[in-house]
Structure 1
Amino acid sequence: MPITTLAATAAHIDACAAVLAEGFADDPVMSSIWPDQNRRYRALPRYFAASLRHFHLPGGGVQIATDQHDHIGGVATWDPPGQWEQPFSRTLCAIPGLFPALRARTPAALAIRRTLDEHHPHTPRHWYLANIATPASHRGQGYAARLITDRLAGAPDTAAYLVCTREENIRFYERFGFTMSATFNLPVAAKPPMWAMIREP
């Protein structure tokens, strides 16, 4: 099955948000922000749409993988080198989109964000894979792998970083040269473990 990768635009936001919401519906990070499943499922499309619009698309690192019918089979949100820390002005613009999704869960989201940022490498300059997901209809067909290999091939002299949120996915990222750099826990009652992974140039 042919796979095409291309840069996402504003026209792709809703479709990309739907794919990410499906892929992260039961992710440990999102479950820590929204413990209530029904509330989480309702909030995620709006949350990802606001994140894409205000944080990731402006950097130009959002990639999609499509099938022969132009259906989206995968979405990867990469922050380019030097752009993973979002400026206050951009965060301010995102609040009207993020707050309706977060509401009372805003303090939990901020605490989790701080923990993730504390473990984020500040050097060397690197691409940051913030999120990657495929819809159920396209899983296991190479869409996520293609999105990763295309980005890494396009930046062979630049490091890459991600946080793996599920232990069973560690081997998947190791296939692309990522290695464990640290482990830590999120600041919630369940303390789910996270695995920071680096791919050197």
Structure 2
Amino acid sequence: MPITTRVATSSDIPEAAAVLAEAFADDPLMTAIWPDQRLRHNALPRYFTASLRHFHIPRGGVRLATGINGTIAAVAVWDPPGQWENNLTTTVRALPDLLPALRTRAAAAITIRRTLDQRHPHKPEHWYLVNIGTTQKARGQGYAARLITERLTAEASTRAYLVCTHADNLTYYAQFGFTVTESFVLPAGRNPAMWAMALNM
């Protein structure tokens, strides 16, 4: 099946958020924020909508992979070099959309975000793969791989960083050249293990 990729725009947010919500429905990091499955599944579409709208789409690094019918099959949320940190002004503007998703889990989300930020490399500048997800129906068909490969081959010796949230995905990212630089646990939920991975850094 032919795969088409393009930059996401604001009009893509509802569908892209739905793809990410499906992909991360039972992800360990999201489970640490929302341990209750029902609450998590209800919150994720709103959470990803707010995240894409306020933080990532404006930075221009979000890319989509679509199939022959144009439906979004995979979403890669890349933050460009030097743009991974969320400034206070943008965060404040995002709160009216974020808080209804987080509700009583806001404190847990802040704690987890601080843990991730503390381990994020500041130098050298790099592309940050914040999230990448594929719909259940499209998994195993190369959509996510295309989005990763395109970003990493767009310029020579691209530097990149990500946090792997599931041990089963370590070998997947390794095939693109990512190597584990650190393992750590999140200070929430059941303290799930995370792996920082970098490329050309």
Normalised to the residue count of structure 1, the TM-score between the two structures is: 0.98
Structure 2 regions of 5+ residues with no counterpart?
Answer: none
Normalised to the residue count of structure 2, the TM-score between the two structures is: 0.98
2:55 is paired with a residue whose SS is helix
1:121 is paired with a residue whose SS is coil
- How many residues end up aligned between the 2 structures? 201
* CA deviation vs aligned residue, 1:63-108 (integer Å, no higher than 9, x gap): 0000011011100000000000011111111101000000110000
Q: Which aligned segments of 4 or more residues in structure 1 are displaced greater than 2 angstroms?
A: 155-158
Identity %: 59
Q: In the alignment, which residue of structure 1 is the partner of 2:162?
A: 162
* Residue 128 of structure 1, CA deviation: 0.2
Worse-superposed segment, 188-197 or 21-30: 188-197
Contact kept, 8 Å, 1:125 with 1:158, in 2: the verdict is no
Q: In the alignment, which residue of structure 1 is the partner of 2:143?
A: 143
Q: Residues 95-114 of structure 1 correspond to what in structure 2 (within 5 A)?
A: 95-114=95-114
Partners in 1 of 2:198 and 2:189 — Cα distance? 27
* Residue 57 of structure 1, CA deviation: 0.5
* CA deviation vs aligned residue, 1:15-63 (integer Å, no higher than 9, x gap): 0000000000000110000000000000000000000000101110000
Partners in 2 of 1:182 and 1:166 — Cα distance? 14
Partners in 2 of 1:194 and 1:51 — Cα distance? 21
Q: In the alignment, which residue of structure 2 is the partner of 1:74?
A: 74
Partners in 1 of 2:112 and 2:198 — Cα distance? 20
Partners in 2 of 1:189 and 1:148 — Cα distance? 30
Contact kept, 8 Å, 2:25 with 2:41, in 1: the verdict is yes
